[in-house]
Structure formats: structure tokens, C-alpha cells
A and B are shown apart, each in its own frame.
Chain A
């Protein structure tokens, strides 16, 4: 069929070799994986391949590492595992990557074609299972299809709105011998993402901005995926627009800049939440009006018109009606917007909003994060996280799991660039941090510190990957904020279930994390009190050539504030535990 071989006699290869050659041809440097029956043929040519393989301890680790790598570098993260249970172990990570638009290529082994459908050993309908949680997937039906399937998968994963793509390859296809050919181009007639924004819409957006009195840029994770930090900075500063950065976008606009208003959402900064509520225009860039940002949708930003830029047309108008829709790559669209600004008089579209900027600055100044670190020595988690930041600094990449520690890390650390903050947003996957940090470290290299900030609940879900970090010499700093509870669940039970705590206690000293560090042969440090913080972290900082584990025993009673209770309006934001108690008292409870 394909007459692509122009180099004379075609090279004969096995399907397994074709998999490896395809990855090499795509420039893949590293794959995260775990061998097993159906994928075993591919692990043989891997020995001689120009590819680094990171052997994980659980397949979920492989996909989260691929995510961490992709998130940190912007390149496609690749994982490779066998059929059945190995492939189903990818499900959580694929769903996570799907929610957060992370480019991941997953290659799974499958039972031989003749056995498909027979309930064979380690058989599962993996394309069926992963259909709703991947951007695309394919069961490869012939060896000749391998290269095309992998090349297309890689292309789909990283283009348009990025996401996970899975390629499932039967064992007999991997074992078959055939004539190798690398397809010259990707042929996907039904897949043509829109890159450039519509010129008319670009001008309309600028006119809305020019006429606005209280505009806010609502900056989302799409900006990080598009690598649009520079363009965003130029655009926001040229027009003097305040910027909120969502959980997925932390750092894409520097928190240190005077136009930065903080994070919106359920546990956002007061200024970030209220700026959106009061705005008369949301310039929405690569954000999707997630329920954790909007709270009660009907009362979200009630006075605001909406400009919405997104590469995925389906996001536009999905949750919130839009006045100016712009479908396109947000980096390209920002370039188009800047071009119009360049062509016009510089002030043509800059709104006269000095009073609004002043007001937003006041919100920030008058409503800072409240952390009451007592002098009793009891360590508040926010104090620990701030100290972690002060130890490893702005150059480090910070990776969180899911829960209270994640929210504190998002709130407390001043991020200054995209890809500096990695976490599981949409799916909220506990256990994300340890493997994602390992993947991120593989991506950013030895010179950039990668610090995982994890909770004790999350850590116990995936800490077996410490062995991966040790075996492959991946020096991640693993910090565990140990409060002996599933803290976020406990917080909700405290606030909304009359403090009836149900199944949330995790013994603070079981497992003994210092013994865990010992067992994996890495240095372990434990901080019990505020006084020990600086000296202990200074010691941990010294260790740069191997993984290190730092445990903080923190106050279990600390809660995350501000908070917008689930389903409530953002207008009902509660800034502190004291404020919550005062409200309860007023309500007569």
C-alpha cells in the first residue's frame, strides 16, 4: 500500500523494533515503564536503543512520571507497560492528563490478535476502557501500522489542546517481521486544530478591553501548555490589566508583579476571588470556568462580559456565555493581539482604569493570607512550606499532591514562571507528587532542584517510587507535610459535618518516615518544631546528589483559608477560621 521506501531495499524489522525506532525517530529521550508478558518483545530492542528507560515500581508511577516530565518540559511524556492489569493501572494517570491537558503517549502491550476477545491471560479491552479518558487511542491491527499509529499519537498528544493518547499493540504484531517505513507525514483528515484567532474577534476583544472599567485577565493552565508566559506578560503590562492565575497557571504571570492579583477559586487569594467577582470584563486565556474557580456559576463574576480564548472550541460557551469567542492557540492569539497593539498608537486600547488597579492593590494589601504561627513552637504547615521555598528558592520546581498541602503550596509560594508549579488540578489525584516530581526532575536535569511537597496521605499512595528515584539516581527533594490526617477531608468534616471525623486519622508516626528513608537508603530529616526548621533544611539543602526525604510534623488543626464552601457563591468567601466561627455564632450554632 504505502510506497514510502525510497532508500532502496526496505529494512526488515520486527514490530517491537518498529516501536523503538518510531520513538527514536520522534526524538523521544526517555520512557517510563514496566515490562510484562505482552510488551516483552519491545523490551528486547530497548536494550540497544538510544532511549533512557526509567523502571518504575507501579504502572501508575510510569504515567504520572510521564505527566511530570511533560508538565516540566512541554514535551510529550512517554510511558510503556504491558497488557491487562498494567494498562488498567494507567487509567488514573491518563484521566489526570486528560483533565489537565498534559501531552502523554502511552504504549501498552495487548494479547495476540487471535486471542483478543477470548478473555485471554492479562487481557483487557484497553482502548475501550480508556476511550473517555484519552484524547485519542488506537488498537494497532498490523505491524505496518505501528509507525503511523505512534507518529499520529505523538502529534495528537502535543498539538491543539494537548492530552494523553494511547497506542495498544498486540504481542503477535510486536513479533511480526515486516519492511520498515517511517511515514513522511501525519494523515488525519478529521483532526485540524485551529491555531490562529479570527481577526475580527481579535479587534472586538481589544475594543471591549478599551471600553472596560474593571477588566481582569483570568489566566489558566492553557497558557502554560502553550508556553505563552512572555506574550502574557507583554500583553498584561502593555494594557495594565490585573491578572489572576488559576491553580493550573500559577507562575505564568509572576506573583511578584504589581499587576498580579493571586489565585481565584475555592481556596484562592481573597484578592483573586473578589477581583473576578467585581470585574466588568474577564479576559479569559486558556481557562475553562471550572467549578472550583467559579463556585456557584450563576453568581460568578455577575457583572462581567467575557472574552474567551481557547484552543478547544468546546470550552467556549460550555459553562459561561461568552461575548467574544476566540478559538486558537493562546500563544498565537496573544501574538495577534500584541501585533494590533503594535500597529496602533500604544494607548489606543489601554483602558483608563487607574482607580480599579488601585482598588485591586488595596484588596491585596488589606486581605493578605493569614497565617498565625504561634510562638509555642508548634509548626504551622504554611510556615514549613514557606521555609521550603526559602531553602530551595525561585530556581526550583515545586510539585504537589492533592489536598491541604497542595492548596497551601499554591497560596504561599510566589511563583514567577510557568512550569515552576506542577500539580494535579482537574482530577485531583492523590499520590501524584512523588512520581510526577521524579518525571519532572528527569525532564529539567540536574541543575534545577525539584521539590515535591506532599501530604502524608498522598505520600503513602505512591512512595514506592522512591526506589525508582534511587535506582536511577534522580535526586528529588521529597517533603512530606505530615499532619496525621487526611487533612482536607478532615477540614470538611469539621466545617460541614459538625466535626464528626470519619476515617480520616492516619497515625503520624506510622509508617515512620525516617525508617522509610533508611529503607530506601536516602537521607531523611524530620522537623518537629519551628525552631528546628532552618538548621534542618540547611542540612537537607546540602544534599544535591541523591534523593532526600524531609518530614514536617505540623499542627493537625490547621485549615486552608480563604475558602468558598462547595457550591456557594464566591461572594461568600471566608478568610479565616475565626471568621468561620464568628459566622456560626451569628447563625446561632
Chain B
């Protein structure tokens, strides 16, 4: 199944996330990752959904999402025409000589050391999912204590905006 990244503007209303998650469950669609947060308009939230679907099913997913009253706009972000990011925190065992190696590794990935203890280092990294996976693979031999990763967020490259020419007519509060 191909992965597709959908960017969805929704009205910032109670239960909107439940409606979307519920629709996916009810229709047996597969959500790979989901991230949700505010936009520059307080009444609008933006969801980024990564879904696994073939073309026909993807069309259904978009149509069924569009039927939800609180959904304002959906665009699919193509991988090569968008900036795709995830964020990751990794706590790695770091004793003795390993410490400098781990710090060096983090440097290569332009990751930040955000916490240090006697025997561990916590690394914060952001980037596209494959870069984060590569970093985790390299950190693995040192012993990963725990890790957490955010859902994907993404924006189209270039000057275009999701709200361009759209039916989103939420007027600004005067």
C-alpha cells in the first residue's frame, strides 16, 4: 500500500479529532500517523494524516473526510513537492567512551543534545522520516533507553498556501 500525506484544515470544534479517527475506524481505513495543531487562525486546526491506501481507496478517504461538516479543506502533499518533517526524542545509554561518539553522531544528523545524565544522553532530532530512521539505526548499538516520535507534519514547497482559491471562508473576527 502506498503512503499518502493529507493535509486537512478543520474547524477547531470539540470532537473533531474523534470524528476523523472514528470515520477511519468505521470504514476500515489505515492511519499511519496523525499530527494535529493550531494554525494562524484560532478557529482552524490543521491535521496531517499519513494514510496507507491504493488510489481508489485514497479517493474514498478524501471524499469521506470531505463529508464531515467540520472539515474545511483537504490537499494531498506529494513527497517531492513538499517539506515533510517529524520530530524525535531518543534517550541513549552513554557511558564512558561512547559519549563522544554519540555526540558526534548527533552532530552529523544536525540533532541537538537536550538532556545529559551520568549514563544517558537525550537527543532531539527533526527531519524527514528516513533521516530519523537512519539515526536511530546508528544509535541502536549503544542501547536505546526510550524514544518518542511525533506524527508527520508537512507543507507544500513554494509560495502556494492550502487556503489559496479554496472554499475556506472563515472570516477573520473583526
A318 close to B (CB within 8 Å): yes
Given contacts A189-B168, A190-B68, A190-B70, contact A132 B26 (CB under 8 A): yes
Which of A135, A190, A313 gathers the greatest number of chain B CB atoms within 10 Å?
A: A190
Given contacts A132-B26, A136-B69, A313-B66, contact A141 B14 (CB under 8 A): yes
A317 close to B (CB within 8 Å): yes
User: Once the chains bind, are B23 and A192 in contact (CB under 8 Å)?
Assistant: no
Q: A94-147: which residues lie under 8 A (CB-CB) from chain B? A: 127-128, 131-132, 135-136, 139, 141
B58 CB → nearest A CB, Å? 11
B158 close to A (CB within 8 Å): no
Which 8 pairs show the lowest CB-CB distances between chains A and B? A314-B63, A132-B26, A190-B72, A136-B69, A191-B69, A313-B63, A190-B71, A189-B169
Complex CA gap A131/B26 in Å reads 10
B11 close to A (CB within 8 Å): yes
B133 close to A (CB within 8 Å): no
B22 close to A (CB within 8 Å): yes
A156 close to B (CB within 8 Å): yes
B100 close to A (CB within 8 Å): no
Known A190-B70, A313-B63, A314-B66; further 16 A-B contacts with Cβ < 8 A: A128-B15, A128-B18, A131-B15, A131-B22, A139-B15, A141-B14, A156-B69, A189-B11, A189-B167, A189-B168, A190-B69, A312-B67, A314-B60, A314-B64, A314-B67, A318-B60
B20 CB → nearest A CB, Å? 10
User: Once the chains bind, are A317 and B69 in contact (CB under 8 Å)?
Assistant: no
Q: B51-65: which residues lie under 8 A (CB-CB) from chain A? A: 56, 59-60, 63-64
Complex CA gap A132/B19 in Å reads 8
Q: A286-338: which residues lie under 8 A (CB-CB) from chain B? A: 312-314, 317-318
**Chain B residues closer than 8 Å to A312, beta-carbon distance:** 67
Cβ contacts A to B, 29 pairs, < 8 Å: A127-B15, A128-B15, A131-B15, A131-B18, A131-B19, A131-B22, A132-B23, A136-B69, A139-B14, A139-B15, A141-B14, A156-B69, A188-B69, A189-B72, A189-B169, A189-B170, A190-B10, A190-B11, A190-B68, A190-B70, A190-B72, A191-B69, A192-B167, A312-B67, A313-B63, A313-B66, A314-B63, A314-B67, A317-B60
Q: B1-56: which residues lie under 8 A (CB-CB) from chain A? A: 10-11, 14-15, 18-19, 22-23, 26, 56
Complex CA gap A192/B167 in Å reads 9
Which of A131, A136, A156, A189 gathers the greatest number of chain B CB atoms within 10 Å?
A: A189
Complex CA gap A189/B26 in Å reads 25
B66 CB → nearest A CB, Å? 7
**Chain B residues closer than 8 Å to A139, beta-carbon distance:** 14-15
How many B residues touch A, CB cutoff 8 Å? 25
A51 CB → nearest B CB, Å? 26
**Chain A residues closer than 8 Å to B71, beta-carbon distance:** 190
**Chain B residues closer than 8 Å to A313, beta-carbon distance:** 63, 66
Interface of B with A (CB < 8 Å)?
10-11, 14-15, 18-19, 22-23, 26, 56, 59-60, 63-64, 66-72, 167-170
Q: Which chain B residue has the least Cβ–Cβ distance from A318?
A: B60
**Chain A residues closer than 8 Å to B23, beta-carbon distance:** 132
B101 CB → nearest A CB, Å? 50
Complex CA gap A399/B64 in Å reads 31
A240 CB → nearest B CB, Å? 34
Q: Interface readout for A456-488 with B: 1 if CB under 8 Å, 0 if not?
A: 000000000000000000000000000000000
**Chain A residues closer than 8 Å to B19, beta-carbon distance:** 131
Complex CA gap A103/B141 in Å reads 61
A260 CB → nearest B CB, Å? 32
Complex CA gap A81/B62 in Å reads 35
B43 CB → nearest A CB, Å? 9
Complex CA gap A478/B49 in Å reads 52
**Chain B residues closer than 8 Å to A128, beta-carbon distance:** 15, 18
A575 CB → nearest B CB, Å? 35
Complex CA gap A317/B59 in Å reads 9
Q: Which chain A residue has the least Cβ–Cβ distance from B173?
A: A1
Q: Which chain A residue has the least Cβ–Cβ distance from B73?
A: A190
Complex CA gap A156/B67 in Å reads 11
Complex CA gap A314/B10 in Å reads 19
**Chain B residues closer than 8 Å to A190, beta-carbon distance:** 10-11, 68-72
**Chain B residues closer than 8 Å to A317, beta-carbon distance:** 56, 59-60
**Chain A residues closer than 8 Å to B18, beta-carbon distance:** 128, 131
Complex CA gap A156/B72 in Å reads 15
Q: Which chain A residue has the least Cβ–Cβ distance from B9?
A: A190
B49 CB → nearest A CB, Å? 16
Complex CA gap A48/B34 in Å reads 50
**Chain A residues closer than 8 Å to B68, beta-carbon distance:** 190
**Chain B residues closer than 8 Å to A318, beta-carbon distance:** 60
A50 CB → nearest B CB, Å? 29
B95 CB → nearest A CB, Å? 47
Q: Which chain A residue has the least Cβ–Cβ distance from B19?
A: A131
- Which of A132, A136, A188, A314 makes the CB contact (< 8 A) with B22? A132
Complex CA gap A318/B26 in Å reads 15
**Chain A residues closer than 8 Å to B11, beta-carbon distance:** 189-190
Q: Which chain A residue has the least Cβ–Cβ distance from B27?
A: A132
Complex CA gap A312/B71 in Å reads 15
**Chain A residues closer than 8 Å to B10, beta-carbon distance:** 190
B39 CB → nearest A CB, Å? 14
A314 CB → nearest B CB, Å? 4
Q: Which chain B residue has the least Cβ–Cβ distance from A131?
A: B22
**Chain B residues closer than 8 Å to A141, beta-carbon distance:** 14
Complex CA gap A127/B15 in Å reads 9
**Chain B residues closer than 8 Å to A314, beta-carbon distance:** 60, 63-64, 66-67
Q: Which chain B residue has the least Cβ–Cβ distance from A193?
A: B67
